[in-house]
């Protein structure tokens, strides 16, 4: 997360002042608790209006959030290699 925040800060600093688009980075730590992940995901999608979600580093939180991101058509990036085995075939196609 620190690296991503630093990258975004560098991108914003190097952008001309006339640029309309500024990049922002939001975090919402659920401590890999799948019961907290859906609310955190909905908050990021509906309140913060994020363009992209970066998933948790745990399968439980990611699996709880992925269907919500899919429904909202928000790209969801995750580093979990075996996540596709747990998602339904419909979600794998999207």
Q: Is 77 helix (H, G, I), strand (E, B) or coil?
A: strand
Instruction: Please state the rounded mean pLDDT for residues 60-76.
Output: 89
pLDDT at 46 over 60: yes
pLDDT at 38: 92
CB atoms within 10 A of CB 30: 19
**d(Cα 8, Cα 76) in Å, to the nearest integer?**
18
Closest to 68 (Cα-Cα) out of 88, 39, 93: 39
Task: Report the mean per-residue pLDDT for the chain.
Answer: 76
pLDDT at 39 over 90: yes
pLDDT at 93: 47
pLDDT at 88 over 70: no
Q: How many residues does the chain have?
A: 94
Can you give the pTM of this predicted structure? 0.65
pLDDT at 90: 45
Determine what percent of the chain is predicted with pLDDT higher than 90: 21
């Amino acid at each position: 997360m620190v690296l991503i925040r630093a990258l975004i800060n560098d991108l914003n600093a190097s952008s001309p002042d006339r640029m309309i688009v500024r990049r922002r980075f939001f975090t919402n730590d659920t401590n890999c608790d799948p019961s907290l992940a859906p609310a955190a995901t909905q908050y990021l999608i509906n309140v913060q209006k994020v363009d992209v979600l970066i998933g948790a580093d745990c399968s439980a939180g990611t699996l709880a959030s992925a269907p919500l991101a899919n429904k909202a058509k928000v790209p969801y990036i995750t580093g979990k290699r075996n996540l596709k085995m747990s998602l339904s075939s419909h979600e794998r196609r999207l």
